Structure 1
Amino acid sequence: MKTTAALIETEHLLGAHNYKPLDVVLTRGEGVFVWDIEGNRYLDCLSAYSAVNQGHCHPKIFKAMVEQAQKLTLTSRAFRNDQLALFYEEIAALTGSHKVLPMNSGAEAVETAIKAVRKWGYEVKGVAADQAEIIVCANNFHGRTIGIVGFSTDPDSHDGFGPFAPGFRIVPFGDIDAFRAAISENTVAFLVEPIQGEAGVIVPPAGYFAEVRELCTKHAITLVLDEIQTGLGRTGKLLAEEHEAIEADVTLIGKALSGGFYPVSAVLSNSEVLGVLKPGQHGSTFGGNPLACAIARAALKVLTEEGMIENSARMGERFMTGLTDIRSNIIREVRGRGLMLAVELVPEAGGARKYCEALKARGILAKDTHGDTIRIAPPLVITAGEVDWALEQFAAVLAST
C-alpha cells in the first residue's frame, strides 16, 4: 500500500492543480468521522461542502443504492422509469413545489434555472428578445461553468476564462437599496444564496429577504434561491428561506439531496417558470435516472424521519455559543445559522490555513476560505458530546494565540 506522501506526490504529478487540499488522505467514513490511511480519526467539519449532511455512508441510503443498482441504473429520459415519479411526488410534498426538474450537479441546476427564467421572461413577462437581465450578488458562488463564472466577482473563478455571456447585473449582497436600484424592465430574475457559503458564511441583515420577496412580487421578478449548500437542513430548517417565512419562485437543491452517494440536483419551481420548457429544449442523459432517484428518496427520508433538521438547529446553537465564548485576540467574528458556521480571524492572524492545519493535528478537519475564515459545517447527525469535544479543539488552537 502506498504511503500518504507517495499518494500526495502522485496527485501532484498527474492531477491538475486546481485544488489545494489539506494533506490528509482519507479512506473511510462513518457518521461524523473519517479515517485516513494511517488509521487516524477525524471529526469532519466540512461535510463535503454540505453533501453529507446525513453523515458519511448512512446505512439506509447505502441500502437503497445497492438495491436499486441491482435492478436498474440508467435508461436516459428517452424512456420512463419507476423511481422518477415517486421522487417527484415525495420532494414536491416535502417542499411544496409544483414542478421538479432533476439534474446531476449543483452547477447544472443553476444553468437550468438561468435558461428557464430567461425563457419565462420572453414568453410570459414579455421582455424583448435577448434583453433579459438577471440580478446576482457580489461574492456569489453558484458553480464553475463558463456561464456561471462570468458573473462571479472572485478573481480566481473569473479571470482568464472570458469572453462571458452578457445579461447579468451584480449588486452587493444584503443591500436592499442596491437591489431595488438595479431592477429594470428587462429584469427576469434575482439569483441569490440565502447565506453566502463560499464567501465565508455571510448572513444577510434580518428582514432582507422579506423585502426582496416583496420587490420581486411587485416587479414580476422570479426569485431564484440557490439552496444547494444552505438547503436540506444545513441551517436548522429544511430550506433556509424558512428563516424569513418566504417562498422562492425557483429553489435549487443538490449536494445533500443524495447524502453524498451520487451526484443529484434538482430545480424546484412553480408551474409558470418550468412550464415554459418543451421537449427537446433542455435535458440531461443522467438527470432523473432511477439510481439517482432511489438514492435521493432515501436521503430525504432519513433527513426528515431521523430528526436531523431539528438536531441541526440545536447543535448549531450549541456550537455557535461555544465558539463565541472562546476568548482570543485573533477572532474577529463568529457567524452562521444552524450548522453552517464560520470563524473569521483578524488579518494579523496570518491567514486561516495554518489554523486548519493545527486543527487537523488535533483530529478536526475544517476548511479555510477567503484567506481569513474557517468554515465549520459538520454532518447534521453530530451529538452534543461531539460538539463539545470539537469546541475544546477549536479553543485550544484559537485561544493559544
Structure 2
Amino acid sequence: MLASLLFLAPLALASPLYKRQSNTYPEPLQRGPPPRQPWIDTYNAAKAAGKIPSFAPARLNSDGVPFYSGGVATDDKGVCSWSQAHCFGDNDIYDAPDGMYAINFDDGPVPASIPLYNFLEKENQTGTHFLIGTNVVDYPDAFKKVLDIGGHVAVHTWSHPYMTTMDDMQVLGELGWTAQAIFDHSNGIVPAFWRPPYGDADARVRAIAEEVFGLKLVGWNRDSNDWCLNDNPGSACAAYGLSGASDLEAELRGWQTGAKSPGCIGLEHETGSLIVNAFISTYPGIKQHGWDARCVPDLFNLDWYQNGKNNDGPFDTSFVIGSGPDSNSTSSASSATSSASSSASTASVSSSGSARASSSATVSSAGVAVPSKDAQASTDKDSGASALSRSSLAGSVAVVGLVAVAALA
C-alpha cells in the first residue's frame, strides 16, 4: 500500500484546510485496530468514573445478526441495542425537525464519490459524509474534494464492522483512527458526529464514542437500501424491493412526497455510479416539494466540528483526538437535539421512558426512541438482518478497487 502512504503536501498558504499527516496508520480495513495510548488513558479515566458500562460484546449468530448471551435485556432498560431492539440512546439523532431533509451519505470518500461531490458543489448543497477511515487515508484526493466543496465530514469507523461485536479496545481503534485520519488530512478538523455501520450500537459503544471522542451518534428514519444495488445489480435485491435504478428512484421520490413530520434523515451511500446517479436524478424533487435540505448539524444549528463551526474554521488544532468530549459542543448538541425533537408538531411524550419513532414522532422524557413497525421493517434491512447485508461493504470495496477485499469475505 505504498500509494496509500503518499499524503497531501502542505497547503497552508493556498488553503486553510490541509496539512501533512504524520501518523502511521493501521492496515487498510484492519478490523478493530489497536488504539493509541492517549485514547486508552481517556477511556480508563471515563471507565473509572463509571461513565462506560461493563458488559460483554455481542456475537454474530448464524444469520449474521449481533446477539447477546445470557438473557441480557436489549431494550432501553438493558444494553439498548439497535440491532436487537432498535433502541436509540439518550443523545442519538434519528429524526430531523419537521420539514427538514438531511443530505447525508455513507462509506466515502472513494473515486466513485467525485461525481456526487461535483453535483453538490454545482447545486451549492451541503451534505454530511460519514467516512471510512481507510478511505480517507487511501484516497486523499477524494477527501480533499469533499472538503473543497464545503462538505461536512464525520466518522463511519475504520473497517465498517458491527461495532457491538468489538471489545472496548477495538471500539477505540475503529473510532479513533478514523477521527485521527480526518484530523491529520485536514487542518486539524475534530469530528463531532459518527454513524455506526448497519446502525449497530449499544450503550457501551455509544458511551465510548461520547466519553473518549466526543462523538454524537446519527441514525436514520428512512432507508433506501441503495447499497444492495451497488453490490448486487439484478434480482438479488428483490428482497429489499429493488430490481434496478427505477425502483431506487421511486423510493427516494417517496421520501420527498411523504409526510414532513418528522423530517427526513435517510440512509444513502456514495460508493457507486448507479446509486449516486439515483440521488442526482431525484434531487430536484427535494426542493420542488418544499423541503429545507441541509447537512446534519445544520438541521439543529450545531457546530460541524468539536473545534470549529464549519469548514471555514478557524480550528483549534491544539485539540487532541481522544482527549474526551468538548463540553461546550456536547452540551449544545444535546440541547439542540432535545429542542428539535420536542418542537415536532405531532410529537407526544411517553411517561414510561420509552418511545416509538414513526411518521408521528414520539419522544420519551429520556430521549430514547424505537422505530414503529413500519420503520423497523425498513431499518431491519440495514441492521444486519441477513448475510447479504453483512457483505455490503465487501461489495462496495470491490466496486471502488480497495485492497484487502479478502479480509471482508
The reply to whether TM is greater than 0.5 is: no
Normalised TM-score (structure 1): 0.25
Q: Which has the larger radius of gyration?
A: 1
Structure with the higher fraction of residues in strand conformation: 1
When the two structures are superposed, what TM-score results if normalisation uses the length of structure 2? 0.25
